[in-house]
Every structure is written in structure tokens, then in C-alpha cells.
Amino acid sequence: QVQLVESGGGLVQPGGSLRLSCAASGDTYSIGWFRQAPGKEREGISCISIPDGTIYYSDSVKDRFTISRDNAKNTVDLQMNSLKPEDTAVYYCATPVTVVGGTIYPPHGDFGSWGRGTQVTVSS
């Protein structure tokens, strides 16, 4: 089973930027980024197809976040710009993911892999 490790979280002021990275131990078909804030449901925010680069974003991050892949390094990065306090959450990457009706869904049950997460805090 593929292992995923996130990095790049931290504390940033509103309007600032952070870059998250998800490193995979092996080949994957798709990788998605999810986040969960305290007291809120987990949200799928972006995903990318590894073979063809097809990308999806949730409305909450579209035009602010950019997902990219480096197939040679088996990494998927999430560049986050114009950060807002409501972006504060623990961010996770997962594989595989599916997209139905524009909603990004995580691996089902025990099928697939999750990283341990990285904290992103947007605060002045």
C-alpha cells in the first residue's frame, strides 16, 4: 500500500501563502487534498490525476490554490495563496480519489491511503 507524507504547513498571516507537499512512496493514479477544521466536516478541496493531469478544485479554494504534480519525484504540491482565516485546518492528502458531480471523494473505507496531516493556521 502506498504511504503518503505531507509537509509544508505552518502559521501564516491572512493574505499570505503556503506550499504543501504530498510525497508518495509508490505509483498512484490520483491524489487529492482534503482539510478538516475543528467542528467541521472534512472537505475535499483539490485533486489531480497522475497519468493525465486532470485537475479539480472546490469552489472554496478555486482561483486561490493551485495543485501540481512531479511524476519523477512522486509528489503532489498544493500552492495556497490569498489565505484566509477560514482556511485554517489540518490538511491531508489521500489516494485514490474520485470526483462525482464536482465533489471530491476520499478513498472508501480501508481502501487507499491517507497521510497523517499537516496543520495550517491563518491568523494575524
Strand 89-95 vs strand 30-36: parallel, antiparallel, or unpaired? antiparallel
Quick one: which of 5, 25, 15, 29 has its CA closest to 77?
Answer: 5
pLDDT at 108: 86
pLDDT at 1: 86
Which residues in the chain land under pLDDT 70?
none
Convert the pLDDT of each residue in 56-70 to its tens digit.
Answer: 999 999 999 999 999
Quick one: which of 24, 23, 46 has its CA closest to 33?
Answer: 46
| Cβ neighbour number for residue 107 with a 10 Å cutoff | 15
In Å, what is the CA distance from 45 to each residue of 4, 36, 124?
Answer: 17, 10, 24
| Grid cell at residue 75 | 509528489
pLDDT at 72: 87
